[in-house]
Amino acid sequence: MVRFRRSGAGVLLVALALSSSLSACGGPERTPEAFCEVMDLHRERFEDATGNALTLAERGDAAGLLGGTAQMVSALGDLQVMFDELAEVAPDDIRTDAERVRDTNREMLESAKEAVNDPVGALVGGLAGGLINSGSYTRLNDYAGEHCGSRPF
């Protein structure tokens, strides 16, 4: 029977090789190109949805106003999907801001749902969250302008 002695160095090399191969398989690519690709895809969808919402609302009748409002709210939900995906692919130099924008927007959407029960509280909470994190929105917007050629806001 052949016996192998385990050495600390051998175990360490195997562990490093495994961790390197596993990390190469995990997670999305965090590059400016991936960031811009996500932003462009969702911006087009958002612009289409808001355009449709405005067209409905411009009809001026109750059905148009209701339909336009419903589509606009739906578009805001789609915008959250963009922020979720941007946070996943944002390069390290904008990652924290992308995560803050994602989280702040999610909180504002949640506040909007609560507006039925507490409209003043929802308004104040959403406004405060937006103001507190306005720097992240500005930096994300500037980053997109610099790297993607267009801005989301």
pLDDT digits (tens, 9 = 90+) for 2-22: 443 444 433 333 333 333 333
Whether 3 maps to a domain, the answer reads no
Tokens 């963009």 belong to: 82
Domain count, the chain: 1
Q: What is the pTM of this model?
A: 0.68
Residue 58, number of CB atoms within 10 A of its CB:
10
Domain that holds residue 64: 30-148
- At 66, is the pLDDT very low, low, confident or very high (cuts 50, 70, 90)? confident
Cα gap 122→133, rounded to integer Å = 16
Whether 54 maps to a domain, the answer reads yes
Whether 56 maps to a domain, the answer reads yes
Whether 5 maps to a domain, the answer reads no
Whether 126 maps to a domain, the answer reads yes
Query: 105-110, long-range: CB within 8 Å, 24+ apart, which pairs?
Result: 105/79, 105/80, 106/80, 109/76, 109/77, 109/80
